[in-house]
């Protein structure tokens, strides 16, 4: 039997290591390495609790556009001897691979995938068209960088946007389609996953309601290095 293809994303060529100086603004960090000071973009608007400490080792990728104002993008932060992935585009890219490589058995094997799909007044991260007698699916991806006592949790800050997505997914559930949340846990020190009720209790309550309504929740752990990010094991849900 042919083993399934390895599900991984290579990091861009030209990544560099640096030390975090500070988070200047929501989307800008200051760093430095042997070449001198660096400015980098971060697309992660969360608190990144426990990660953004001055002096932390970080991994930066070069911008595709050499004329971009910020020539670097923050990819990872190293804590406790391991990398934590903070690029919030990674879960969307990994969701596509998980679907097309058949890593979500509830979808019935490898499927085609459409990114940024509109449904009603909303736009979700992924749509899987109906095919071969299999139902369509509507999917949303989230990045997870917070772990407390071995339990990965989302979100790491109050998120009205996240609550909106849960309401949208709950409304879609029960209409004949598969509706799911894909949580990519970008660190290795978690043994289970659940909502961060101690940070955003409203989000946690909405997630419980969503699961009761039939929304699926998948938490998959990423294996990270300074060269690539691969999709690892599935974590059990721990809702408290």
127 vs 170: CA distance, rounded Å: 16
Q: What is the CATH classification number for the domain harbouring 43?
A: 2.40.50.580
Shared domain check, 94 and 81 = no
Six-digit token string for 155: 């979100």
Shared domain check, 197 and 112 = yes
**240 located within any domain:** no
What does each of the 240 residues of the chain score in pLDDT, given as a tens digit?
Answer: 555 567 999 999 999 999 999 999 999 999 999 999 999 999 999 999 999 999 999 999 999 887 889 999 999 999 999 999 999 999 999 999 999 999 999 999 999 999 999 887 788 999 999 998 999 999 999 999 999 999 999 999 999 999 999 999 999 998 889 999 999 999 999 999 999 999 999 999 999 999 999 999 999 999 999 999 999 999 999 997
Alpha carbons within 13 angstroms on the beta-carbon side of residue 30 total 8
At residue 4, the pLDDT reads 58
How many beta carbons lie within 10 A of that of residue 132, not counting itself?
7
At residue 120, the pLDDT reads 76
In the chain, the N- to C-terminal Cα span, in Å, equals: 39
74 vs 72: CA distance, rounded Å: 7
**98 located within any domain:** yes
| Domain extent at residue 164 | 90-235
114 vs 96: CA distance, rounded Å: 8
Shared domain check, 121 and 74 = no
At residue 2, the pLDDT reads 54
At residue 5, the pLDDT reads 65
At residue 67, the pLDDT reads 83
pTM of the model: 0.95
């Amino acid at each position: 039997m042919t083993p399934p293809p390895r599900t991984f994303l290579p990091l861009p060529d030209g990544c560099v290591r640096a030390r975090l100086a500070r988070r200047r603004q929501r989307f800008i960090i200051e760093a430095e390495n042997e070449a001198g000071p660096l400015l980098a973009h971060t697309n992660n608007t969360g608190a990144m609790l426990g990660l953004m400490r001055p002096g932390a080792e970080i991994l930066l990728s070069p911008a595709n556009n050499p004329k971009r104002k910020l020539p670097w993008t923050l990819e990872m932060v190293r804590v406790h001897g391991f990398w934590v992935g903070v690029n919030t585009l990674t879960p969307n890219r990994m969701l596509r691979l998980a679907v097309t490589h058949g890593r979500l058995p509830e979808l019935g094997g490898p499927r085609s995938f459409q990114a940024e799909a509109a449904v009603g007044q909303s736009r979700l991260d992924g749509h899987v068209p109906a095919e071969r007698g299999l139902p369509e699916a509507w999917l949303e991806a989230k990045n997870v960088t917070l772990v407390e006592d071995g339990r990965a949790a989302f979100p790491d800050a109050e998120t009205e946007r996240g609550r909106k997505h849960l309401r949208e997914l709950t409304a879609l559930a029960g209409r004949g389609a598969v509706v799911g949340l894909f949580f990519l846990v970008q660190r290795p020190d978690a043994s289970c996953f659940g909502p961060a009720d101690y940070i955003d209790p409203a989000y946690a309550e909405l997630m419980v309601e969503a699961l009761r309504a039939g929304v699926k929740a998948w938490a998959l752990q990423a294996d990270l290095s300074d060269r690539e990010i691969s999709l690892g094991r599935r974590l059990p849900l721990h809702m408290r």
